[in-house]
Amino acid sequence: MVLIKIAFRNIFRHKKRSALTGLMMGGGCFLFAVFIGMVDGTYGNLIDMFTRDHTGHIQIHKKGYLDKPSIYKTLNGPGSIGIKIDSLAHIQSWAPRVYTPALAFAGKKTTGVKLTGIDPPKEERTTRIRHKVDRGRFISATPLNEVVIGDGLARVLKVDLGGEIAFIAQGADGSIANGLFTVVGITGKSEGAIGSSTCYTHINSLQEFLSLGGRVHEIAVVLMDESKTIRVVDLIKKALDDPLLEVEPWQVVESQFYRAMQADIKGNWYTIMVFTIIIAVGVLNTILMILLERTREFGVLKALGTRPFQIFLLIVLETACLAVLSIIIGTAAGIFANWMLSVYGITYSIPIEYGGVVFDRLTAKITLRSLVLPALIIFSTAILVSILPAIRAARIIPVKAMRST
Amino acid sequence: MHEDVLKVQDVSRIYSTDGLKVNALRSVSLSIKGSEFTAIAGPSGSGKTTLLNIMSGLDTPTSGSVMLGGKPINTMKGSELSDFRRDHIGFIFQSYNLIPVLSVKENIEYIMLLQGIGEGERRTRVASILKQVGIEGMEDRLPRQLSGGQQQRVAVARAMVSNPDIILADEPTANLDSATGASLLDMMRELNEARGMTFVFSTHDTMIMDRARRLVILKDGKVAKDEVRK
């Protein structure tokens, strides 16, 4: 107890030096908290936009569809699959989809597109596709050969609301499918590169167009909590119990995006590592200075009967006390900054496209990670750095130490 | 008749500096009995501080042995030696060496805290010693708020409060003016008489030599004179 008292009071003995070291540790804690908060906020946002805009948290396909998509790899009876999904925990909603590559013609313009058949009411409950319509309206709940296209595609084909687009594709029965669709809505510019091939129509219209009957290519599932994705994948697999179906989380469905995101997160850890080294050097410098200045004092403490381990403990406790004070201040400042960023964010002067999703605002999130990790990193670094000087102090020979000034 | 508290037997200490060997102590033998008030004096370089350091286990002799309370302290190491010093030796240093962040009361309590003595006992002992060394009412002050004489009184209190077998004082009056030094010495002498506590001083201060009941003069690392006074 007396050692804790000495350690704590020693912090205030050299106020300026302690303030500088504390600033380094507290500042580091603050920076890490904001950094992790922004990473969590940005990626949380990114994942949310990515999954809620289109992908969903989980997708169900016929086995092999993800590796090599084909209009022939279909799911029979999406309704019965949906009933099984609905009975599971954590499910928010699901939506069936049909896909086909097609050639789009409008006047003299032509381009390749990806036609996506969606069930408007179900899709509305599952994703935010409906809210992406910038001009016009979303496709009707009844199949009326209507399409919603991306802003990019509208520009390529030079069509506007009310215009007609002819699609040609290969039907599931081997025939050449062709049909005329009316543009009822145009999605905004926020879809980036995807917007130049986006083309949504009613699932029944596309099933009829492709002669697919009631079959679909995909069922997208959205959960109430993204963090439960892997657990729910297992639940769905068990509930469906069909080896011909593949149930994959968004991390597998959009593996390229997920890998890029992971690499980016890894890069952030290197940044944290560099900062940690800088902080460690600063703290080490302070402790070595303490050791040098107080050699005589440690000699006296040893002469009076303080055990070597107690001297070791004193140095470590002193560092720990300063680290705890700095962490409290740094974390409080970090929480405040993350809260400000989560509410107001920072608007980019030029929006950034990542994985086909356009971002115009940097936000942060207050997560347990952003509170605990910086505190742990700073505290363990400070303690680790104090160990060697503490061992040196413990080994001090009193008679030599007391000769020093 | 008091028993030997400390027994230094045939102790030599050779320092090697830059290849040069310096004989700081040459076969010194000395016994300190309980309740003695002894001054070890001698000119600079005579080996008095070295002898005091060896007596306290702060330094180890090149040869010979040091027995304190019947135990050989020259063979003790690490925590065993720390604990032994804590429980059996009281120190008074030339430059007081109080712990700057602890108050007077906490400085006096320090060794008792290391010994694990309970709060009630500590409080009683501190109150009593504060009175004996004449610094009552200053218990909450920090060392920097005290004069040199007051600080040395705290150091005396710290050395005595745990009732050690012996108190070793290295030039305790060197940093004090003569009046303060004399008053401090008188106080220590009174404590020695009242409590029977054993004091050994290393000094070249005539005030200490005059007050000592035994005077050991060292010269060139040897005992040149060992005189017991009445």
Of B79, B84, B87, the CB nearest to A308: B79
Q: What is the pLDDT of residue B74?
A: 86
Is A250 a domain residue? no
3 state DSSP class of B96: coil
pLDDT tens digits, one per residue of B107-138: 999 999 999 999 999 999 999 888 888 888 89
CB B37 within 8 A of CB B212: yes
Number of domains in chain A: 2
Examine the domain organization and report whether A7 and A99 are in the same domain. Answer: no
DSSP E strands in chain B: the ranges are 4-17, 20-33, 37-41, 63-68, 71-72, 89-92, 166-170, 199-203, 214-219, 222-228
Q: Which residue of A has its CA nearest to B54?
A: A399
CB spacing of B86 vs A304 below 8 angstroms: yes
Is A390 a domain residue? yes
Q: In this model, does residue A379 exceed pLDDT 90?
A: yes
Distance CA A402, CA B39 (A): 22
Is A200 a domain residue? yes
Closest by Cα among B82, B87, B51, B52 to B69 = B87
pTM: 0.76
* Segment among A20-24, A193-197, A360-364, B193-197 with least mean pLDDT: A193-197
Q: If you average pLDDT over residues A384-405, what whole number do you get?
A: 87
Is A247 a domain residue? no
Over its length of 230 residues, how does chain B's per-residue pLDDT go in tens digits? 568 889 999 999 998 888 888 889 999 999 999 899 999 999 888 999 999 999 999 899 999 999 998 899 988 888 899 999 999 999 998 888 899 999 999 999 999 999 999 999 999 999 988 888 888 889 999 999 999 889 999 999 999 898 899 999 998 888 888 888 888 888 889 888 888 889 999 998 899 999 999 999 999 999 999 998 87
Residue type, A88: L
Q: In this model, does residue A234 exceed pLDDT 90?
A: yes
CB spacing of A305 vs B99 below 8 angstroms: no
pLDDT top residue among A161 and A349:
A161
Q: What is the pLDDT of residue A257?
A: 83
Q: In this model, does residue A58 exceed pLDDT 70?
A: yes
Single residue among A178, A210, A242 that ends a domain in this structure: A242
**What is the DSSP code (8-state) at residue A140?**
P
Distance CA B197, CA A185 (A): 102
Chain B CB contacts of A310 below 8 Å: 114
Q: If you average pLDDT over residues A39-47, what whole number do you get?
A: 84
pLDDT tens digits, one per residue of A310-349: 999 999 999 999 999 999 999 999 999 999 998 988 888 8
Distance CA B42, CA B47 (A): 8
Q: How many residues does chain B have?
A: 230
Distance CA A374, CA B69 (A): 54
Examine the domain organization and report whether A227 and A82 are in the same domain. Answer: yes
Examine the domain organization and report whether A33 and A68 are in the same domain. Answer: no
Is A73 a domain residue? yes
3 state DSSP class of B27: strand
CA angle A326-A331-A334, nearest 5°? 125
Single residue among A242, A269, A287 that ends a domain in this structure: A242
Examine the domain organization and report whether A161 and A272 are in the same domain. Answer: no
pLDDT tens digits, one per residue of B138-162: 999 999 999 988 999 999 999 989 8
Examine the domain organization and report whether A88 and A223 are in the same domain. Answer: yes
The two tokens of residue A88 are 């599971």
Examine the domain organization and report whether A310 and A387 are in the same domain. Answer: yes
Examine the domain organization and report whether A89 and A200 are in the same domain. Answer: yes
Examine the domain organization and report whether A92 and A207 are in the same domain. Answer: yes
**What is the DSSP code (8-state) at residue B42?**
-
Cβ neighbours of residue B57 under 8 Å, at least 6 residues apart? B66, B68, B73, B74, B76, B81, B84, B85, B89
Examine the domain organization and report whether A121 and A183 are in the same domain. Answer: yes
Q: In this model, does residue A166 exceed pLDDT 90?
A: yes
Of the residues B76, B101, B142, B161, the best mutation for testing chain A's interface (the one with the most A CB atoms within 10 Å of its CB) is B101
Residues of chain B whose beta carbon is less than 8 angstroms from a beta carbon of chain A are: 53, 56, 58-59, 78-79, 82-87, 89, 91, 93, 97, 99-102, 106, 109-111, 113-114, 158
**What is the DSSP code (8-state) at residue A53?**
I
Of A2, A297, A308, the CB nearest to B113: A2
Is A263 a domain residue? yes
Domain that holds residue A192: 64-242
Examine the domain organization and report whether A218 and A97 are in the same domain. Answer: yes
CA of B230 to nearest chain A CA: how many angstroms apart? 32
Is A59 a domain residue? no
CA of A20 to nearest chain B CA: how many angstroms apart? 20
CB spacing of A306 vs B114 below 8 angstroms: yes
Q: What is the pLDDT of residue A101?
A: 92
Q: Which residue of B has its CA nearest to A13?
A: B101
CB spacing of A2 vs B100 below 8 angstroms: no
Percent of chain A with pLDDT over 90: 55
CB A358 within 8 A of CB A196: no
All structural domains of chain B: 35-49+77-228 (3.40.50.300)
Q: What is the pLDDT of residue A189?
A: 62
Q: What is the pLDDT of residue A82?
A: 92
CB spacing of A398 vs B101 below 8 angstroms: no
ipTM of the complex: 0.89
Examine the domain organization and report whether A75 and A33 are in the same domain. Answer: no
Examine the domain organization and report whether A338 and A226 are in the same domain. Answer: no
pLDDT top residue among A14 and B218:
B218
pLDDT tens digits, one per residue of A169-220: 999 888 898 899 999 999 876 555 556 777 999 999 999 999 998 999 999 9
The two tokens of residue A186 are 């145009």
Q: What is the pLDDT of residue A351?
A: 75
Q: How would residue A405 be classed by pLDDT, with cut points 50, 70 and 90?
A: low
Chain A CB contacts of B126 below 8 Å: none
CA of A333 to nearest chain B CA: how many angstroms apart? 30
Q: What is the pLDDT of residue B217?
A: 93
Q: If you average pLDDT over residues A10-20, what whole number do you get?
A: 86
Sign of CA dihedral B82, B87, B88, B89: positive
Chain B CB contacts of A399 below 8 Å: 53, 58-59
CB spacing of A399 vs B110 below 8 angstroms: no
